[in-house]
Amino acid sequence: MAFEPVVLFFLLGAVAGLLRSDLKIPSSIYDALSIFLLLAIGLKGGVKLAEHPIGEMVLPGIAIIIAGALIPLLAFPVLRYFGRMSRPDSASIAAHYGSVSVVTFSVGVTFLGQKMESFEGYMIVFLVFLEMPALIIGALLARYGQGEVRWGKMLHEVFFGKSIFLLAGGLLIGYIAGPEGIKPLDLLFFDLFKGVLALFLLEMGLVAASRMADLRTYGPVLVGFAIVMPLLSAVLGTALGWMLGLSVGGTLLLSTLYASASYIAAPAAMRIAVPEANPALSIGASLGVTFPFNIFIGIPIYYWMATLVSTTGA
Amino acid sequence: MAFEPVVLFFLLGAVAGLLRSDLKIPSSIYDALSIFLLLAIGLKGGVKLAEHPIGEMVLPGIAIIIAGALIPLLAFPVLRYFGRMSRPDSASIAAHYGSVSVVTFSVGVTFLGQKMESFEGYMIVFLVFLEMPALIIGALLARYGQGEVRWGKMLHEVFFGKSIFLLAGGLLIGYIAGPEGIKPLDLLFFDLFKGVLALFLLEMGLVAASRMADLRTYGPVLVGFAIVMPLLSAVLGTALGWMLGLSVGGTLLLSTLYASASYIAAPAAMRIAVPEANPALSIGASLGVTFPFNIFIGIPIYYWMATLVSTTGA
Amino acid sequence: MAFEPVVLFFLLGAVAGLLRSDLKIPSSIYDALSIFLLLAIGLKGGVKLAEHPIGEMVLPGIAIIIAGALIPLLAFPVLRYFGRMSRPDSASIAAHYGSVSVVTFSVGVTFLGQKMESFEGYMIVFLVFLEMPALIIGALLARYGQGEVRWGKMLHEVFFGKSIFLLAGGLLIGYIAGPEGIKPLDLLFFDLFKGVLALFLLEMGLVAASRMADLRTYGPVLVGFAIVMPLLSAVLGTALGWMLGLSVGGTLLLSTLYASASYIAAPAAMRIAVPEANPALSIGASLGVTFPFNIFIGIPIYYWMATLVSTTGA
Amino acid sequence: MTAKSMILLTIISEAMLEAILADEIMQLGAKGYTVTDARGRGTHGVRRGNWTAGGNVRFDVVGDAELCARIVARLKEVYERDYGLLMYTSPVELQN
Amino acid sequence: MTAKSMILLTIISEAMLEAILADEIMQLGAKGYTVTDARGRGTHGVRRGNWTAGGNVRFDVVGDAELCARIVARLKEVYERDYGLLMYTSPVELQN
Amino acid sequence: MTAKSMILLTIISEAMLEAILADEIMQLGAKGYTVTDARGRGTHGVRRGNWTAGGNVRFDVVGDAELCARIVARLKEVYERDYGLLMYTSPVELQN
Ligand SMILES: Nc1ncnc2c1ncn2[C@@H]1O[C@H](COP(=O)(O)O)[C@@H](O)[C@H]1O
Ligand SMILES: Nc1ncnc2c1ncn2[C@@H]1O[C@H](COP(=O)(O)O)[C@@H](O)[C@H]1O
Ligand SMILES: Nc1ncnc2c1ncn2[C@@H]1O[C@H](COP(=O)(O)O)[C@@H](O)[C@H]1O
Ligand code: NA
Ligand code: NA
Ligand code: NA
């Protein structure tokens, strides 16, 4: 089979939404599933970190974060001048595409599992570290020369917002407890992960369906951006992965991180930092177009790109 | 032990309800558990279908669906003329008994597991296909010569209502992914199934207790119907299973399907198609009497019937 | 490592609460997790009971319950005369410390698992039997010579309140089904237990954080009581465990039961039996101080005490 | 203040009618509505809200008197006979 | 319209009193009530509603003035001193 | 009865503003507030409440006319332009 069965759950949800089925996932269940996924991913990353010397990842880490900051800086002028969007909208969308999506990343990990490809465990750490710069750059772009940012509230949201908080908290617990200490939790957090991801994708499909309906009103520029931007970001990720000498799996995950757009942390932070931006635009693009594009089409392409460059030595 | 431990959870819930304990299962948890059970049952059926040639089940399938349609057509006149119920109430109750209960079916599967009996995997498919004819027949009976049915809304409810949608969606995903593709989801959807069923039965007990209280006001005819009807339907199921040469397990599941009454899909569809019917009557009978009757007394009887006929060759 | 990784989840939750993160666990998830833990603990106890002759535990049981009743009778005068608290507040807090905490007990069991210590399975039964006397004593102390207790509502709350009801119901089901019958439920209720406990501790941390903030207003006497009282109770438990010839694990669990303070059953019962008492005081002390004290510091101390006395034969 | 006098119409009905009533309200010309989950008791018995088929929803609609009268008339005609339904109005000052 | 002038009594109190207050309200003669989950803040502090013992409920009762006065008097007498409680009334037009 | 005439201010806004609005309301002098989860539809589109970023909250504040005017003025100034927001007031009799 070409793609992972879990993505079929997204399709099922999207179809339910588009056909106006009465299928609804209660918001408290949505919250519980997302808390679970964030914690589980964090724990997994922490355990991997505990197994490897941290020193190893400092240099590649800096490169990955700096290159990642290019993404919103590239997206902003495209949206502003080519897409003729308002400054706040352009900045907010740029921040969404600069940050990363935990679920897209998880689908990437699952994809690698199916292909039996290993990857550098510390990639998970960048789920935490790529989020923040993009959000701060987004806020700066929105305000450049115009009024003030509510930095206090905004930075609080960035650092203590639940997604970063749970990822970072999980990382720490996983790191402190180590592979042995976490073993009794393996069954819940690791073995059940993929099943829970399937349920979450069902819900994502339902939500995305309602966003897709909105998209018609925003025109082809935004839809085009939501497809071309992840491809460009993935090229950047593949190139960097190649330069850093990452494995095929690590390169795929780096491209996937760059290509993914946030729809948990970024919407919350941007709603506070750049409230004039229309959230329907950024969420519609990231959740209604980029997310399904990545999980169905993008990831296989990025994988192909990663295998391609891997045959050329660094 | 004569019966399955999971049914004790139903008892616990019913006792809590009758003693007015403050035990409450939040409605969002109820929704989540039922989404899980519907998806899991669908996936299991889909995987079983993927393992066997579909052609094999076409002829028995047609027989099973046609015979199943007899149930509401039999129940209606009994309720209308013998039970002296109004036309809409008779039609709505007939539709409930014509459709099927996923949880009763699950308890039947669990019962077979305990007895180490195998069954024809495609029986799960009839959870989907027995639902629809009964609901449509119910709507027709209610309206025969009297006013119009809101067919649009009603059929939408039947096909895209969450229970049919999730069962059918699960079937499809299971079929496409096949036993290999679904393996990483086995732990959540298959291995945990019985535990989740236990929790759901706890909640069913709580809800049923509130329905049992109502029953006093509806008199002995309805209660009698709610016990005799499943027995008759099970006889029909056993006879058909024997004629089709099903295994003992398959025959038991067919009787259980026929004998079970819906309390998820049918109430929703009937509330829209036949709003004049009193929902307390149909839910009271199906959930307050027939459901506990089936899981405690009915299934062991149907099993005995199935083993009995199996000793007589078809 | 000195302590169990699960307690780190409590810490994470507490930090989130203190830093005003927007992390929130929906109340329906809280309810679902607590239903799960109560049922699972009850089932485990029931299975253990089914494996051993009940006769064995009658005499130690009576001793454990009588000695346990000393705790509220000791706590009350301390609070009333030394702490200068009102009669209702003293009585309500005494009842909280006389009853027991399921989650603290679970952390104790987990701690023993890590140390590879076995324990007398029937200790779980005292989760049920230690609760009631303390609550009734609390109500009597509050009313002694002053007005009437609403005994009806109060006793209903004690016996049919969800925590006792689920524990006792789980015990019964586990006992009836036995180790073999419960096997298909093992995965959900036993193997996943520790993971679910981790999630619940996350939520407890969030709730405790909001209680800690309140504590400042109640002064050092209550905080001191919330630390010294569990130590005294644990000494009582250790002494009794030694006299009864319990294993090191059993002695630790008995101390932990005595030392723990209720925050599920007792608040609900006391709110009805002694409504004049300020619930912020009792919950603040038991959840904001005693609970974290026990899981981080108390249990290791009680373990040390248990090993100490075990080297001296009874 | 630029407060405008309006009518607040509150409708309590069965949860499964939510999507249907929302469509009716918008089609009759409302500018918006607010929905909250509810449970309760009335002539149709106790509605505990503990399972899908057993809860209520509460709609609040702010509009002019005619809109509210139109909605009331329509819901009375179509839903009152067969479904649990309670409707009441009160004057409010819209503040924005 | 057949609208009847009635009183709407809104009661906000602790979630754990839900069953008790529902019984009181019906025993005092109400034809029904509506309950919604709530949280809030008042003289008894913040009630976050994030765990069982910490939430509020809101009762809405439509009835005549006497019924509402009876309920208010009873709840004041029995529950006001010891429990978080807020009650207010307003006139409404019952539409069905 | 000791009923006092007060104003009930109802505010419907985006769920993610809950903590912020609660702080504003208390800082402007309210003695308390009640919050319920809501969903709905208005000029900012449908808010289904099916995921975190997509729900509303409803605040009810009982206070005197000046307090309510202060809150209305502040929320209009700071939040009305950028966030979904609806505010309306009505007179109520506080019963305790
Ligand atoms: N007098 C009342 N006051 C407040 N809510 C009511 C009243 N009567 C009915 N309700 C609500 O309206 C729903 C439907 O009412 P009914 O059609 O009378 O069953 C009930 O479930 C209650 O939530
Ligand atoms: N001024 C107010 N406006 C709106 N709701 C209030 C007000 N005061 C109290 N409440 C609500 O009533 C509950 C109990 O109030 P209290 O008894 O003052 O703690 C609070 O938790 C709030 O939900
Ligand atoms: N006319 C109305 N009646 C009742 N609620 C409304 C109305 N208009 C808006 N709302 C509520 O207020 C929220 C924000 O409104 P808006 O700013 O118009 O999008 C909506 O999501 C609804 O919940
Ligand atoms: Na990105
Ligand atoms: Na049937
Ligand atoms: Na204790």
The reply to whether C57 falls in a domain is yes
Chains C and D touch (3+ CB pairs under 8 A): no
Distance from the A209 Cα atom to the nearest Cα atom in chain B, whole angstroms: 15
Set of chain D residues whose Cβ sits within 8 Å of the Cβ of E92 = 10, 88-90
Question: Between residues 50 and 89 of chain F, which touch chain E (CB distance below 8 Å)?
Answer: 62
CB of E12 closer than 6 angstroms to any ligand 2 atom: yes
Partners of residue C181 in chain B, C-beta under 8 Å? 1, 5
pLDDT at F53: 63
CATH number at residue A192: 1.20.1530.20
E26 falls within a domain: yes
Tens of pLDDT, residue by residue over B108-163, are: 999 999 899 999 888 988 888 898 899 999 989 988 766 666 677 777 877 788 88
- Rounded to whole angstroms, the Cα distance separating D11 from E31 reads 16
What is the span of the domain harbouring residue F50?
A: 4-91
Cβ distance A272 to A138 under 8 Å? no
Euclidean distance between CA atoms D84 and D47, whole angstroms: 10
CA–centroid distance, D33 to ligand 3, in Å, is: 5
Residue E91 β-bridge partners: E7
- β-pairing, E85-94 with E33-42? unpaired
Instruction: Identify the pLDDT of residue E53.
Output: 64
**Mean pLDDT calculated for residue range A27-56:** 90
Range C235-255 average pLDDT:
96
Angle between helices A102-115 and A6-18 (to 10 degrees): 140
Count of A–B CB contacts within 8 Å?
A: 75
CB contact under 8 A, F46 and A210: yes
DSSP class of residue B120 equals: -
Q: In this structure, is residue F96 part of a structural domain?
A: no
SS3 state at C140: helix
Q: How far is CA B249 from CA B44, B255, B308, C31, E1, in A?
A: 16, 10, 12, 38, 62
Residues D90, F90: C-beta atoms closer than 8 Å? yes
User: CB contacts < 8 Å between B and E, how many?
Assistant: 3
Task: Report the SS3 class of residue E33.
Answer: strand
Q: pLDDT band for A121, please (50, 70, 90 cuts).
A: confident
In the stretch 18-47 of chain C, residues with CB closer than 8 A to chain E read 24-27, 30-31, 34
Q: Is E44 in the pocket of ligand 2 (CB under 6 A)?
A: yes
Per-residue pLDDT of chain B (314 residues; tens, 9 = 90+): 456 789 999 999 999 999 989 898 999 999 999 999 999 999 999 998 888 888 888 889 999 999 999 999 999 999 999 999 999 999 999 999 999 999 999 999 999 998 999 998 889 888 888 988 999 999 899 887 666 666 777 778 777 888 889 999 999 999 999 999 999 999 999 999 999 999 999 999 998 888 887 777 778 899 999 999 999 999 999 999 999 999 999 999 999 999 999 988 888 888 888 888 988 899 989 999 999 999 999 999 999 999 999 887 54
Question: Could you tell me if residue A185 is inside a domain?
Answer: yes
Structural domains counted in chain A: 1
pLDDT at A217: 76
Tokens of B256: 């259980």
Region D18-44 average pLDDT: 96
Nearest listed ligand to the Cα of residue C257 = 6
Q: Is residue A55 part of a domain?
A: yes
- Specify the pLDDT at position C1: 40
Establish if F41 touches chain A: CB-CB under 8 angstroms: no
Q: What is the CATH number of the domain that holds E39?
A: 3.30.70.120
User: Which candidate, B66, B20, B41, places its Cα nearest to that of B200?
Assistant: B41
Are 3 or more Cβ–Cβ pairs between B and F shorter than 8 Å?
no
The residue range of the domain holding C274 is: 26-313
Q: How far is the CA of C291 from the centre of ligand 6 (A)?
A: 11
Instruction: Report the DSSP beta bridge partners of residue E42.
Output: E45
pLDDT tens, N- to C-terminus, chain F (96 residues): 468 999 999 999 999 899 999 999 999 999 999 999 999 999 988 887 766 567 999 999 999 999 999 999 999 999 999 999 999 999 999 998
pLDDT tens-place string over residues C49-93:
888 888 888 889 999 999 999 999 999 999 999 999 999 999 999
pLDDT attached to residue C145: 64
User: Closest to F50 (Cβ–Cβ): which among A27, A268, A276?
Assistant: A27
- Does the residue A243 lie in any domain? yes
Is this model's pTM higher than 0.90 or not? yes
CA dihedral (C4, C7, C8, C11) positive or negative: negative
ipTM: 0.93
Q: Is D19 on the interface with B (CB under 8 A)?
A: no
> D62: distance to nearest CA of chain B, Å?
28
Is B4 domain-assigned?
Answer: no
For residue A196, the model assigns a pLDDT of 95
E10 vs B212 pLDDT, higher one: E10
User: CA separation (Å) from A60 to A56, A244, A313?
Assistant: 8, 7, 17
The total domain count for chain E is 1
- Which residues, in sequence order, are bridge partners of residue D59? D11, D35
pLDDT tens sequence across A185-238: 999 999 999 999 999 999 999 988 888 877 777 788 999 999 999 999 999 999
**Bridge-based pairing state of the strands F33-42 and E56-63:** unpaired
In a domain, F76, yes or no: yes
- Judged by average pLDDT, the poorest of B167-176, C149-158, E63-72 is C149-158
In a domain, C17, yes or no: no
* Six-digit token string for B93: 């109750």
Best residue for ligand 1 mutational test, from D17, D47, D86, D90 (most atoms within 8 Å of Cβ): D86
Nearest Cβ partner for C195 among A157, A176, A185:
A185
Model confidence at C104, pLDDT cuts 50, 70, 90, reads very high
User: What is the spatial distance between Cα B277 and Cα B229, in angstroms, rounded to a whole number?
Assistant: 20
d(CA C208, CA C293): 12
> Which atom belonging to ligand 2 lies closest to the Cα atom of F30?
1
Q: Is D82 contained in some domain?
A: yes
CA distance B133 to B262: 13
User: Phi, psi at residue E39, to the nearest 5°?
Assistant: -140, 175
Residue A225 burial class via C-beta count within 10 angstroms: exposed 0-12, middle 13-18, buried 19 and up: buried
Q: Taking CA atoms, what residue in E is nearest to F26?
A: E41
D38 vs B: CB within 8 A: no
Secondary structure of residue E76 in the 3-state scheme = helix
